[in-house]
Chains A and B, each alone.
Chain A
Amino acid sequence: AQSVSQHNHHVILSEAASLELGCNYSYGGTVNLFWYVQYPGQHLQLLLKYFSGDPLVKGIKGFEAEFIKSKFSFNLRKPSVQWSDTAEYFCAVKSGGYQKVTFGTGTKLQVIP
């Protein structure tokens, strides 16, 4: 069975600091990988996705993620965070040709002005 690990449960940064959120998955075959963001009181929104090709994926709002197959990782990055990035971030994986997506437990990001 596939699984997703997000090791950082709560991250606090000052504005303009750089961000990297870790995500590791367990599945040896072909995967689709996603990062979703959930702003307080809102639904999950897609930030970016990887399914093939360039392992460096650029998403909305200046976020990017790098797929490193050898490390089973898909870390999310942003060079300079803003207060408005305060939210919870979820990594997710879809694999094996199935539509079922497995979500990580989420990382709460708090950006201090």
Chain B
Amino acid sequence: DAGVIQSPRHEVTEMGQEVTLRCKPISGHDYLFWYRQTMMRGLELLIYFNNNVPIDDSGMPEDRFSAKMPNASFSTLKIQPSEPRDSAVYFCASSLSAYNQPQHFGDGTRLSIL
């Protein structure tokens, strides 16, 4: 079975540019999560969706960050404008809705803002 697929794997861009990260969850999973991982803060939940609807975006750091899930098989996380402090690894994860189901993580996008 295909796992969670994220693209790109690496992104290097200059400060001020728009960055779009993409995620395809595991087919049939109705929850999708976006995390950010840094050395300083560890793994932080940014936002999660249930059946394409954002449920909790309290972890989104600022208005520069936005996330969408237009359908069950695709989500984007956008940063506009990007800043050097946004440099991190961004993970997408998906899960089934049953209470005891774990999250399955993608390989992540390593983002560097110069």
Contacts and interface: CB of A to CB of B under 8 A. Distances in A.
Interface of A: 32, 34, 36, 42-46, 49, 51-52, 90, 94, 97, 99-106
- Interface secondary structure of B, over-half rule: strand
Contacts of B95: 99
11 contacts: A43-B108, A44-B43, A46-B102, A51-B100, A94-B99, A97-B99, A99-B31, A99-B48, A103-B43, A104-B42, A106-B43
Given A44-B91, A45-B105, 5 more contacts: A90-B43, A99-B95, A100-B45, A100-B56, A106-B42
Contacts of A46: 102, 104
Given A32-B100, A51-B100, A99-B97, A42 B43 contact: no
B83 to A, nearest CB: 24
B102 A49 contact: yes
Residue of B33, B55, B91, B100 with most chain A CB atoms under a 10 A cut-off: B100
A53 B48 CA distance: 29
Interface string B89-114: 00101010101101111111000000
The interface size bin for chain B is 20 to 34
A94 B31 CA distance: 14
A96 to B, nearest CB: 10
B7 interface: no
Interface string B26-62: 0000010100000000110100101000011000000
A43 B106 contact: yes
A21 B10 CA distance: 32
A93 to B, nearest CB: 12
Nearest to B58: A100
A102 B58 CA distance: 13
What 8 A-B pairs are tightest by C-beta distance, nearest first? A51-B100, A43-B105, A44-B105, A105-B42, A103-B43, A46-B102, A43-B107, A99-B31
Given A99-B50, A100-B48, A49 B107 contact: no
A70 to B, nearest CB: 22
